[in-house]
Amino acid sequence: MNEVAMTGLALARFVREAGVQLALLLEADGRVIAQHGFVRRIDVATASTLAAAIGATTRELGLFLGDGTLGPIHHGGGDVQLFLAPLPERAPARLLLTVFDARTSLGLVRVFWEDLRNALRREATAQAPSDEDFERELQESLTALLGGL
Amino acid sequence: MPVVDYPGREITCKIVYYGPGRSGKTSNLQYIYERVPAERRGAMVSLATHNERTLFFDFLPLELGTISGFTTRFQLYTVPGQAYYRNTRKLVLQGADGVVFVADSQRRQQEENIESLRDLHEALADQHVDPRTLPLVLQYNKQDLPRDLISPPHLMEEELNFRGVPSHAADALTGAGVFETLRSISELVLRRLNATSHAGART
Ligand SMILES: Nc1nc2c(ncn2[C@@H]2O[C@H](COP(=O)(O)OP(=O)(O)OP(=O)(O)O)[C@@H](O)[C@H]2O)c(=O)[nH]1
Ligand SMILES: [Mg+2]
């Protein structure tokens, strides 16, 4: 199985075991690598971009104050809580953004975050596909988006 | 490299609009946001100061459609052009699959353009990205301004385009050249991805 499939499975297990509502696995710059849970409830692209901004500003603040290591951040809101944590198994560190409520606890989320880190460490690598109709589809898609120029 | 989700069959490419302060980067994204079909774009997020200078970035997700069986998405970002946001620019530039350099065609801004282009190359070098292999498109914006204030495209070309990358004259307020620029960088980024995937490269 390739890396991305493994990542997806590991994240699905995290959501199930930790009892969270949703989890996003992000690159440091906010691009989504995998998502699981009730992701339809939120605008994933916006949530992940804002999460990446938190990650980036926290790291910068850490450096500014003399400690560059980014630990997990917990935001205990009213109904929903956020847990934003680095997955430092590769550089730059990826981020886990997860949303949960009173049906689970911060302690459980932390435990399964550690498990997730271990699972990701064991990932294999993926291979890209090929396609000869690429150029035609590229032009058609660009025209659909931008119109004929 | 773009983020490729093979089981989900999705590709996400990050395109960064770079350039000196007030060259028109945010205006490019605003025009794109207003003119692409609504079902193909997400919300535009702008983190700006009260006077509309970009503070952190602007962000606009676009959906291109299906290419080679993959749902293909673009994430457009702008950097803040003001000199003292250098660290933010580096952050936003991280992981870029392509860069649009928006130059200000006003003659008095030419130094700014050159400085910003240098800044871009330095930031890329810091991130161990070879500027010669990263897809880059130049845009000579504000060509609508009076002739005595601006350099025409061929002079901009001489001053800035020493690598001979695709370039477009533009006026981001009316949108002239904006889609052409986006089209150009999209082609470069996706052709490069396609070439590397044919070569069996890993993501
Ligand atoms: N005449 C003219 N004005 C433009 C054009 N593009 C942008 N402007 C104006 O230039 C100013 C700056 O534009 P922005 O798009 O905010 O510039 P920016 O590059 O995002 O600036 P920063 O966020 O500070 O880096 C605004 O007042 C725009 O209306 C253009 O093509 N022609
Ligand atoms: Mg701006």
Per-residue pLDDT, B1: 61
Residue A141 contacts residue A57 (beta carbons within 8 Å) = no
Write the CA distances from A53 to A8, A50, A90, B150, integer angstroms. 23, 5, 19, 36
* Contacts for B60 with CB less than 8 Å, ≥ 6 apart: B29, B32, B33, B41, B42, B44, B45, B75, B76
- Split into its structural domains, chain B has a count of 1
- Determine the residue among A24, A134, A141, A145 to mutate to test chain B binding: the one whose Cβ has the most chain B Cβ atoms within 10 Å: A145
Q: So what's the pLDDT on residue A40?
A: 76
Return the beta strands (E) in B89-169 as ranges: 98-104, 136-141, 167-169
CA pair distance A70, A73, nearest whole angstrom: 9
CA B84 to chain centre: 20
The residues, ordered by sequence, that sit 6+ positions from A24 with a Cβ below 8 Å of its Cβ are A32, A34, A35, A39, A44, A47, A48, A51, A96, A97, A98
Q: Ligand 1 center to residue A84 CA distance, Å? A: 35
Report how far residue B163's alpha carbon sits from residue B124's, in angstroms, rounded to the nearest whole number: 16
| Average of per-residue pLDDT across A103-130 | 75
Q: Is residue B202 scored above 80 in pLDDT?
A: no
What does the block give as tokens for A4? 């991305």
Q: Give me the pLDDT at residue A131, please.
A: 57
Cβ contacts of residue A66 below 8 Å, gap of 6+? Answer: none
Please write the tens of the pLDDT for every residue from B33-60: 999 999 999 988 888 776 677 777 899 9
Bridge partners (DSSP) listed for residue B168 = B139
Here the CATH number for the domain that contains residue B117 is 3.40.50.300
Q: Is the CB of B172 under 6 A from ligand 1?
A: yes
CA distance A92 to A127: 21
**What is the total residue count of chain A?**
149
Do the beta carbons of residue B185 and residue B137 sit within 8 Å? yes
For residue B177, the enclosing domain spans: 3-202
User: Ligand 1 within 6 A of B177 CB?
Assistant: no
* Choice between B70 and A126, residue whose per-residue pLDDT is larger: B70
pTM summary value: 0.69
How many Å lie between the centroid of ligand 2 and the Cα of residue B156? Answer: 21
CA B30, CA B25: separation in Å to the nearest integer?
9
Separation of alpha carbons B187 and B193, rounded Å: 10
Is residue A35 within 8 Å of residue B11, measured between CB atoms? no
What's the confidence (pLDDT) of residue A82?
93
Which 3 state secondary structure label does DSSP give B83?
helix
Nearest to B64 among A5, A28, A145 (CB): A145
Q: Give the ranges where chain A is alpha helix by DSSP (H).
A: 3-18, 44-64, 106-121, 134-146
More confident: A145 or A42: A145
- From the list A92, A125, A138, the residue facing B202 with the nearest CB is A125
Percent of all residues in chain A with a pLDDT value above 70, rounded to a whole number: 84
The DSSP bridge partners found for residue B67 are B70
What average pLDDT does chain A have?
82
CATH topology of domain A3-146: Beta-Lactamase (3.30.450)
* pLDDT tens track for A54-87: 988 888 888 888 876 668 899 987 788 999 998 8
C-alpha closest to that of A50 among A84, A7, A4, A100: A84
| B23 pocket-lining for ligand 1 (C-beta < 6 Å) | yes
Q: Convert A15-45 to b/e letters by CB count within 10 Å (16 or more is b).
A: beebebbbbbbbbbbbbbbbbbbebeebebb
Query: What amino acid occupies position B164?
Result: G
How do the residues of chain B divide into helix, strand and coil, expressed in percent and rounded to 5?
Answer: 35, 30, 35
Residue B199: the pLDDT is 43
**Closest to A85 (Cα-Cα) out of A108, A54, A63:** A54
